[in-house]
Amino acid sequence: MTFAATPTLDLEYTTRLLVDLLNIPSPTGYTEGAVQFIERELQRLGVPCARTPKGGLLWTVPGPGDGEVTFSAHADTLGAMVKEVRKNGRLGLTQLGGYDWTSIEGAEVQVHTQTGTFTGTVVNTRQSTHVWGAELRELKRGADTLEVRLDARTGTAAETLALGVQVGDFVSFDSCARLTPAGYVKGRHLDNKAAVAVFLGVTPVLLAAAPRCTTHFYISVYEEVGHGAASGIPGSTTELIAVDMAAIGTGQTSSEHHVTLCVKDSSGPYDHLLGNRLRAAADRAGIELRVDIYPYYGSDASAAWRSGLPCPAALIGPGVDASHAYERTHRDALRDTAELMLSHLR
């Protein structure tokens, strides 16, 4: 007698999707391109999906058992908006999401106007060391001292405005995504497109072998500003598992090569019993699960709980180095995140 092999994650497919997603601009409030990409991929897989009123995305894989699990990730990323058009024709910025201003100096950007897109670079107001010398090194980076230099012939506010650039235009930071021969994925916005790619990688596995219970995948588009999953989670959900990056640094256990269970962040502890079920799922799958706490972190699960979601919530995700800057993870962490999800659903 022969038995059908258990379907497994296609890691090549998942990684390719991730790099493609990273290269689609989607700062909070300007996520349509990324959401359409996900919709097209689900259509190719033959999976129906629906938009939420706030512009997110939801799809479902039915299962026979009781209860319903929802996995949440977000497609919105860090970015900026034009705060002012300066006298020199360059653009002052206001942040979308929380990041250190120094992390965007030198970033290539796109400015998305009502009529088209311009490329540019984030520079500081005293960029040339040959002109400013020590003053450049001592300059504090911030909203007043960083600006976008447009790749257009403009040297005055009037000339920039004549191009169609306006206050309120969205500014996206180019990901500069790449997959290295050693299996590392580098680029801006692994937070949280890594999880979105994992969702797309897990979905065909579940279609081939149904999960133990009905499973929802929810993509939010306002997580970076704190209210992504405040609405949109199906009301029938009995377990919510947010999947987001695991931050790496001194004093943390998270690793670029592993999946992490976050048991507490700035919003407080996550559900202990659900966390234990995820620990058991990791043991069954032979996954080395890291457990960590993030003091300056919030998730879609936090937002859902604050909005009154009446079920347990947990937070897992792949380890990401240099979070909210030029980030890096490894295919190992993507694989283990997917396998933890699958083990929990089997």
- Residues within the annotated binding site? 74, 191, 224, 244
Any bridge partners for residue 346, and if so which?
Answer: none
1-9: list long-range contacts, CB under 8 Å, 24+ apart. Answer: 6/209, 7/204, 7/205, 7/208, 7/209, 8/205, 9/201, 9/202, 9/205, 9/335, 9/338, 9/339, 9/342
Catalytic status, residue 223 = yes
Q: Which DSSP symbol is given to 273?
A: H
Q: Which DSSP symbol is given to 225?
A: G
At residue 62, what are phi and psi to the nearest 5 degrees?
-70, 150
Three-state secondary structure string covering 173-196 = ECCCCEECCCCEEEECCHHHHHHH
**Distance separating alpha carbons of residues 74 and 220, to the nearest angstrom:** 5
DSSP-derived 3-state class of residue 220? strand
Selecting among 223, 239, 256, 327, the annotated active-site residue is 223
32-40: list long-range contacts, CB under 8 Å, 24+ apart. Answer: 34/75, 34/76, 34/193, 34/196, 35/75, 35/219, 35/221, 38/75, 38/196, 38/200, 38/219
Numbered residues of the known binding site for Zn(2+): 74, 191, 224, 244
**Distance separating alpha carbons of residues 345 and 212, to the nearest angstrom:** 6
Q: What is the gyration radius of the CA atoms in the chain, in angstroms?
A: 21
In the chain, what's the furthest Cα-to-Cα distance?
79
**Catalytic amino acids?**
223
